[in-house]
Amino acid sequence: MPVVNRIADFSADMTRWRQYLHTIPELEFECHETAAFVAERLREFGVDELHEGIAKTGMVAIINGQGDGPTIGLRADMDALPITEETGVDYASQNPGKMHACGHDGHTTMLLGAARYLAETRNFSGRVALIFQPAEEDGGGAGVMVEEGIMDRFDISQVYALHNAPGFAEGTFYTTPGPIMAAVDTFEVHIQGVGGHGAMPHETRDPVMAACGIAQAIQTIVSRNHYALDDLVVSVTQIHTGTVNNVIPDTAYINGTVRTFDPNVQQMVMRRMAEIVEGQAKSYGVEARLEYNVDYPATINDAEKAGFATEVAREISGDDRVTGNTGREMGAEDFSYMLQKRPGAYLFLGQGEGAGLHHPKYNFNDEIAPVGASFFARIVEKAQPLS
């Protein structure tokens, strides 16, 4: 792969950083040790400014290029997942029950690699803002950094981010103009019935049957209420109730997720879910309370920036290894909050075969770190060339 030569030269260092970060996975906003390691490297590279403590453990580093120009933003996420690691690697998680199962250790490393190169070479005009965020998996750290004003404070004009993709050929890139990742909402239904003896159901108001009815009826939102060509997923992912075979319980609990791209579809789901929960509860003679939580918005690439990022990716990986119109998928990503504020693009970087994201046997492929770092470096040099 024609990665930037200078970055290839220090790829062994990147592997060391990544494998060290892999040993210290941290959750949500509590990325203290990770942030300390990142800050230490950035100081070592000689970045011009380092602003720590944004969104608790996030930070923005500034590298000045040569001459005036805009500021381009590059973002990496640093947080891990509450999963017990099963990779068996000798640099496995040392924090029990926590694991880098989404490759954010690799994302952080790729942006550090770009930082080292850009601080060393400075073959660009204007400035680059390196954004290291906590709480991508849960908590919306990108949204908090945006709320804390990073876009205006650092005068960022455009933003880019990468996510590794298991199951796609090593070093290939995928992106698309417009929507790439869905908006994610979650819902919970708390059902209150009246329990009793399993042999005397007529004396109860059975929350088990109500839960089954509600879970089934919710599925008709997709199959009966929305236009078939619009994107929509409604998944019931948990039903909890009861403890033994001869007792009808008092309560039941349902939980699930909704994925959409169009705010009108999202509004329709919210309205229909409320109607279904209320109507079904009435028909089963129980009480049900719906909690509907609107979470990350859809991730929407700027068409022109996605095209530009595709060009840069082709320079690095070759024309036939980059797909510029991959289409959208129903996963979600909090980089969406940054793309709401500034034009930019989100790309997937293939990392070859192996366990999927969020699997206890997943591991980031160190071979793609120089590819991602080269992409970040070249996007800066190409967007803001020396005059």
Q: Which residues bind Zn ion (CB under 5 A)?
A: 102
Distance CA 190, CA 252 (A): 6
Q: Which position has the token pair 């199959």? A: 223
Distance in Å, CB of 7 to Zn ion, minimum: 22
Which is nearer to Zn ion, 102 or 191 (by Cβ)? 102
Residue 53, token pair as written in the block: 């403590």
Distance in Å, CB of 282 to Zn ion, minimum: 39
DSSP one-letter string for 257-284: EEEES-HHHHHHHHHHHHHHHHHHHHHH
Which is nearer to Zn ion, 206 or 334 (by Cβ)? 334
Ramachandran angles phi, psi of 200, nearest 5°: -130, 60
Distance in Å, CB of 79 to Zn ion, minimum: 9
Distance in Å, CB of 299 to Zn ion, minimum: 12
Which neighbouring-strand residues pair with 385? none
3-state secondary structure of 386: coil
Ramachandran angles phi, psi of 122, nearest 5°: 50, 40
Q: Output the residue with the shortest Cβ distance to Zn ion.
A: 102
Which is nearer to Zn ion, 102 or 183 (by Cβ)? 102
Which is nearer to Zn ion, 102 or 290 (by Cβ)? 102
Distance in Å, CB of 102 to Zn ion, minimum: 3
Distance in Å, CB of 364 to Zn ion, minimum: 10
DSSP one-letter string for 130-156: EEEES-SSSS-HHHHHHHTTHHHHTTE
Which is nearer to Zn ion, 137 or 302 (by Cβ)? 137
Which is nearer to Zn ion, 71 or 172 (by Cβ)? 172
Which is nearer to Zn ion, 209 or 298 (by Cβ)? 298
Distance CA 313, CA 346 (A): 12
Q: Please state whether 165 falls in left (phi above 0), alpha (psi between -120 and 50) or beta.
A: beta
Distance in Å, CB of 73 to Zn ion, minimum: 18
Pairing of β 127-133 and β 287-294 = unpaired
